[in-house]
Structure 1
């Protein structure tokens, strides 16, 4: 089948998403399930209506970048630093536990040592998209639960960047240890540059031209994507750059105006992200991977709340909050998908092991979403009592 134009692909994606989302709402299901199912149906392994998903996957990445930028806009730097100091032990301890659990489970199903280590590494992280998207705005802005979730996700992002750097250095051994050290040195530089540019350029432009709303919108997008690209250039992730861009602006009164106006744009690209997750999955491998993926998914969804609850208790968090944070982080991450793609392209793992990680990600996205929307306040909760925007 000839490849359709981008416009026709968007027609298929968003019209199909609207139809399936309507069915999901009528049957009281989370909307992101509709987007993933649509991707599997329309993608190259389904009906092949959209056979080349590379462009859509790249575009969907913008949604994650905007998500982290908006998250940064809601974070006061002083609170953020305090929370990261407090939660470092929990993030590192939980990552080690999930690495070992995933490694042992993969060995049980006969995967090689290298494949088992990489599958274990993919289990370490929780999804920024799921974690933040299912947090009500009031909880994200003003509640300790939101601060804990965000702090842990950010620390996991740093660990994920280190893992990705190790994988990249495995592809290109000529750079050696410097390829790991340089990005860690670059992070303080990125933060410093972000603060200086906001103080002496961005805020002055906003104050000078704040009557022109279109200009503020344009400046915010340019600042976000510029910092994202700058972070990638010095070896960090685009998401990290976008978050730093948001935090640097967080102390300005204009930050909430920017956040409100960028949310629809973020949601547009996040629909593409979940569609691309479903579309990139090879349905023909289901028979080979369903058992290990199901075991890993149950292990993640069942074990993460328990481990987070135990570790959070060690830093004197109360019982109910510890359970809630654990359930909200009870899935693996979009970084896990990236680990699967990079490791497979570098021939570190086979296609079967890569698809085990992808299938586990999809299953945990779905299962943890169900757990949260049925039990905790969220914007897409099933009951009116729990629904909070």
Structure 2
């Protein structure tokens, strides 16, 4: 794509986003809805004014990386370890239940066994972006509910990475032994990445920060370099860039400079996240709506209604209160951006057809929109409609 085309695309996206965001705020609607709707209108299946959605998706992925980095900056390592230990059974139990639900719905609508399995896998996860974007950074991140949401999302991300490795193994001629080697590499890479990050921070990064903390531009560049560097290292090691960015954040969370870095990077994060939600709307083929409308609506309603109930039930078994169980369940009441990636990879490797892929995409979009409405009308969030619930 030529440079002029990129600039023109950005003009359309951000000028359009400013207009629809203004309308959304006047009508008291969530901004995420506006960005996705704008993508559908301007994208290749709408007015065809923005056509290179792959480029936008690649660029917007940086927003997810920054989101996880900022999240890590707010997480104390000791609290995180405790929460991951506590939430493991809940994450596994909920994943199994939603796999069964997704498989059953796919089977009832006549999809193939492989397509049913992929649909089931797609329903296992909740959206890291929606879940964390709607968490108040100054309130819930320092409270039990926020730590529980984050712990569950991270555990789901780890499970999702394992599923993606399985799918990637189906895209080529990898033998069973090669697939096992990939899994082993991932299991070894994660603790090594964490250990290496903390050692580097202690002996190099913090010393650089202490020596040059008067130069704010340098601290800003150092933070971005550390975040993206560890994200890329994690990606090369067979993990995800998101996991690497989160580890990068946690590794400097105990430093006094962590909150300054978090405040500095928030505008950059929001810039890329607007692109992410726009690309979701732009990549959806509106011509297939008639074929997938009924199963997509059924899947979305099942996710929205059963996730709160299932999380409430499972969390009660680790001594969480009903109020916390319900709030966590509603905050995780959607499927994930990992689900979109799973649909893309499975369709690209011919494991599922275009219709099944778009079914997953439609379910993701519906649950993103509807769960956002549920959260912003009922729980504290930075974009809550009510002044009483708005917490940044």
TM-score range, shorter chain: over 0.9
| C-alpha deviation, 1:36, in angstroms | 0.3
Which stretch has the larger CA shift, 17-26 or 178-187? 178-187
Q: Contact (CA 8 Å) 1:4, 1:50: kept in 2 or not?
A: no
Aligned match for 1:279, one of 277, 282, 295: 282
What stretches of structure 1 of length at least 5 have no aligned partner? Answer: none
1:251-300 residue CA offsets vs partner (Å, 9 max, x unmatched): 11100000000000000000000000000000110000111110000000
Instruction: Say whether residues 1:261 and 2:271 are aligned partners.
Output: no
Which residue in the other structure is 1:353 paired with?
356
| C-alpha deviation, 1:351, in angstroms | 0.5
Which residue in the other structure is 2:167 paired with?
167
Aligned match for 2:331, one of 311, 328, 331: 328
Q: Contact (CA 8 Å) 1:373, 1:382: kept in 2 or not?
A: yes
In 2, the alpha carbon distance for the partners of 1:189 and 1:170 equals 27
Q: Contact (CA 8 Å) 2:83, 2:147: kept in 1 or not?
A: yes
Which residue in the other structure is 2:302 paired with?
299
Instruction: Say whether residues 1:193 and 2:221 are aligned partners.
Output: no
Which residue in the other structure is 1:252 paired with?
255
Which residue in the other structure is 1:13 paired with?
13
Q: Contact (CA 8 Å) 1:3, 1:50: kept in 2 or not?
A: no
SS at match of 1:235: coil
Which residue in the other structure is 1:142 paired with?
142
Which residue in the other structure is 1:231 paired with?
234
SS at match of 1:198: helix
Which stretch has the larger CA shift, 45-54 or 270-279? 45-54
Which stretch has the larger CA shift, 20-29 or 377-386? 377-386
Aligned length: 389
Instruction: Say whether residues 1:375 and 2:378 are aligned partners.
Output: yes
SS at match of 1:176: helix
| C-alpha deviation, 1:217, in angstroms | 0.2
| C-alpha deviation, 1:140, in angstroms | 3.0
Which residue in the other structure is 1:84 paired with?
84
In 1, the alpha carbon distance for the partners of 2:350 and 2:170 equals 10
In 2, the alpha carbon distance for the partners of 1:291 and 1:209 equals 59
In 2, the alpha carbon distance for the partners of 1:32 and 1:4 equals 27
Which residue in the other structure is 1:310 paired with?
313
Aligned-residue Cα RMSD (Å) equals 1.2
In 1, the alpha carbon distance for the partners of 2:37 and 2:254 equals 40
What stretches of structure 2 of length at least 5 have no aligned partner? Answer: none
SS at match of 2:302: helix
| C-alpha deviation, 1:73, in angstroms | 0.5
Which residue in the other structure is 1:118 paired with?
118
In 1, the alpha carbon distance for the partners of 2:53 and 2:330 equals 32
In 2, the alpha carbon distance for the partners of 1:280 and 1:123 equals 20
SS at match of 2:125: coil
Q: Contact (CA 8 Å) 1:340, 1:354: kept in 2 or not?
A: yes
| C-alpha deviation, 1:176, in angstroms | 2.6
Q: 1:3 to 1:243 in 2, by over 3 A?
A: closer
Q: Contact (CA 8 Å) 2:149, 2:332: kept in 1 or not?
A: yes
1:197-224 residue CA offsets vs partner (Å, 9 max, x unmatched): 1111111110110000000000000000
| C-alpha deviation, 1:4, in angstroms | 5.9
TM-score (norm: length of structure 2):
0.98
